[in-house]
Amino acid sequence: MTQTGTTQTGTTHTGEPGRGRLAIDSGVASRLTGVPESARTVEDQGFDGCWAGETNHDPFLALTLAAEHTSRIELGTNIAVAFARNPMSVASLAWDLQDLSHGRFNLGLGTQIKPHIEKRFGMPWSEPAERMREFVDALQAIWSAWQDGTRLRFEGRFYTHKIMSPMFTPEPNPYPAPKVFLAAVGERVTEMCGEVADGLLTHPFTTRRFLDEVTSPMVQRGLDRSGRARAGFQLTSPVFVVTGETEQGFVEAAAATRRQIAFYGSTPAYRKVLELHGWGDLQTELHDLSLRGEWETMGELITDEILATFAVVAPVDEVADGLLDRCAGVIDRAVPALPTNLSAEAKSRIVADLRST
């Protein structure tokens, strides 16, 4: 399951600011051999859920193992690449995982970028917002056919599903259809997410101000068009965390997070986040350095102010308060990227602090 740079992630429920409860989500080991123990550990530490990403391993396989070896935590893909597959194959995977996990599975999907879809997966790419909308609509039609026995007659611009004979129809699921979360950065996909999805998966390279002033209004426009309330929608966001049990550990965590922020900041697609804060020129400088492979130098350009804008920077006993401040009123599920050198005891302490608030 997922790791972010040199950090790992984790989840727990606390008093959620404004709309119920805040979930603090986690990732576990990426190699399949480590998933059972890692998933059990996440659950034992009090976290509420974990996500598996599609980087160098298949997330559905990891979550199958996690479902077998846990009983309480929610499980989700963050993300599975939708356009590398088709709605029927994804519907089947999600359906079986929802059954295996006893209703704990969330399906998180992302578009990926055109070169990867066409040159890595050998699949077609076009109109990502429209294609993803149709992908979600097709999923719902397929699940409805399986659950309610309705005739499958889905025919869109990109996907067609009109045959569902009894031999290929799974048994009705005793649990509701999986919730569908979509990863989004651009305006069209983010608004579409508000229209058709159960939740949004934001990119790690974001700030509270960007969520307040850019992301949330886009989601709300989509919700308004679909006539849905914000209370029924979940915004999930990774949060960088800089902390440490020793001064050296703190310094190492800060350096690793600076490098991660610099790496994301070098990408032209994320320039608008920096521009919102008046740091647009930094993106150009970071991009030029990345082309020369000067990764260490890039990290040195991330000042303390920039670090504190993108990350919760706090001693271990103040991390919970920092996370709650960062999430209040906008983030429903947080994925804190805790330093990998943080002890299990320190992670459990942060979880306990979150639960006590």
Q: What is the DSSP letter of 26?
A: B
Query: Residue 291 has what pLDDT?
Result: 95
CA dist 231 and 20 (Å) reads 8
Q: What is the pLDDT of residues 291-337, one digit of tens each?
A: 999 999 999 999 999 999 999 999 999 999 999 999 999 999 999 99
Query: Residue 16 has what pLDDT?
Result: 42
The yes-or-no verdict on residue 92 having pLDDT over 70 is yes
Q: What is the pLDDT of residues 234-293, one digit of tens each?
A: 999 999 999 999 999 999 999 999 999 999 999 998 999 999 999 999 999 999 999 999
Identify the burial level of 302 via C-beta atoms within 10 angstroms of its C-beta, where 0-12 means exposed, 13-18 middle and 19 or more buried.
Answer: buried
Domains of the chain: 7-246+312-356 (3.20.20.30), 247-311 (no CATH)
Average pLDDT value for residue range 133-158:
97
Q: What phi and psi values does residue 261 have, to the nearest 5 degrees? A: -60, -40
Q: Which amino acid is at 114?
A: K
CA dist 286 and 290 (Å) reads 6
200: number of Cβ within 10 Å: 27
CA dist 331 and 315 (Å) reads 22
pLDDT above 90: percentage of residues in the chain: 85
CB 29 within 8 A of CB 342: no
CA dihedral sign, ordered 170, 172, 173, 177: positive
Q: What is the pLDDT of residues 191-241, one digit of tens each?
A: 999 999 999 999 999 999 999 999 999 999 999 999 999 999 999 999 999
CA dist 184 and 242 (Å) reads 25
CB 324 within 8 A of CB 25: no
pLDDT tier, 20 (very low <50, low <70, confident <90, very high otherwise): low
CA dist 266 and 160 (Å) reads 39
pLDDT tier, 9 (very low <50, low <70, confident <90, very high otherwise): very low
Query: Residue 30 has what pLDDT?
Result: 78
Which tokens go with 314? 């706090």
Q: What phi and psi values does residue 284 have, to the nearest 5 degrees? A: -60, -45
